[in-house]
Amino acid sequence: MKGEKDITELQKICLEVRKDIIRMLGEAGSGHPGGSLSAVEIVVSLYFSVMRHRAKEPNWKDRDRFILSKGHCCPLLYAVLAKCGYFPAEKLLTLRKLGSPLQGHPHNIELPGIEASTGSLGQGLSVANGIALAGKLNKKNYRVYCLLGDGETDEGQVWEAVMTANHYHLDNLCAIVDRNRLQIDGNTEDIMHLEPYPEKWKAFGWKVIEIEGNKIEEVLSAYRQAEKIKGKPSVVIAHTIKGKGVSFMENRVEWHGKAPKKEETEKALEELNAAVSLRTK
């Protein structure tokens, strides 16, 4: 499904995906809204304008690959996969329910379109490295994208993977960091000081692209830049707003892993529906 959609269409899809996330979490009564909402533009842009993939042929050998390293934000990925046609949208409301393939963290055996089971934070970039290296060895031209949370990069394995990717010149790999500055215990800079963040990635030999991650235009431009980089991996540091799109969730750490109650779900959907109406006028 590669072929760029216009900005207005992508923005509309982002609003619809945000509504799906809220509905899913409201129905499940548990899950992670904050980081799911902050990364919507990042993932929608990939699946609707950047990556080559086939919903009806999820194991197509020449597809681009996406690894959701911050697996707890799977409501976002599920909503996007459903909108692409990987499975019926009706399944979204089975999130976290007994017997549902839409588990609380992605499971690649249970659901088409999931490249790797994730959720143990810090591991996704290592998986992406392996897939990217295999592509090089097999002379395939697919690209690999890996989305990490900024709090996740507290993990030492991330930096081992960062070093490894540069060592093997994995220019078919693009990492994206959802830099919303909040993790489950609070502000990232209070939990584990990350700054100067771009300089850390540069020191490991990566091409660093910094953007405002909730702006579709900047996200698409970053992916286009990354595709042109040769001889080294790329990282897009996407500055985002946790809980983006729902006023009472934005930049509020308590919405990292708390599902909205019935009244909160209705209020959030009212806001998003109003935003959709403004977009279509």
pLDDT at 177: 99
What CATH architecture does domain 7-280 belong to? 3-Layer(aba) Sandwich (3.40)
3-state helix, strand, coil in the chain (%, to 5): 50, 10, 40
pLDDT digits (tens, 9 = 90+) for 17-40: 999 999 999 999 999 999 999 999
- Positive or negative: CA dihedral 43, 49, 55, 61: negative
CB 262 within 8 A of CB 26: yes
Token pair 């996704």 in the structure block, residue: 124
Phi-psi region of 29 (alpha: psi -120 to 50; beta: other; left: phi over 0): left
- The span from the first CA to the last CA of the chain, in angstroms, equals 28
Name the pTM for this structure. Answer: 0.96
196 upstream amide cis, omega within 30 of 0: yes
pLDDT single digits (tens) 134-189: 999 999 999 999 999 999 999 999 999 999 999 999 999 999 999 999 999 999 99
Ordered by start, the domain boundaries in the chain are 7-280
pLDDT digits (tens, 9 = 90+) for 68-112: 999 999 999 999 999 999 999 999 999 999 999 999 999 999 899
Mean pLDDT score of the chain, rounded to an integer? 96
Give CA 97 to chain center in angstroms: 22
Token reading at 184: 């489950």
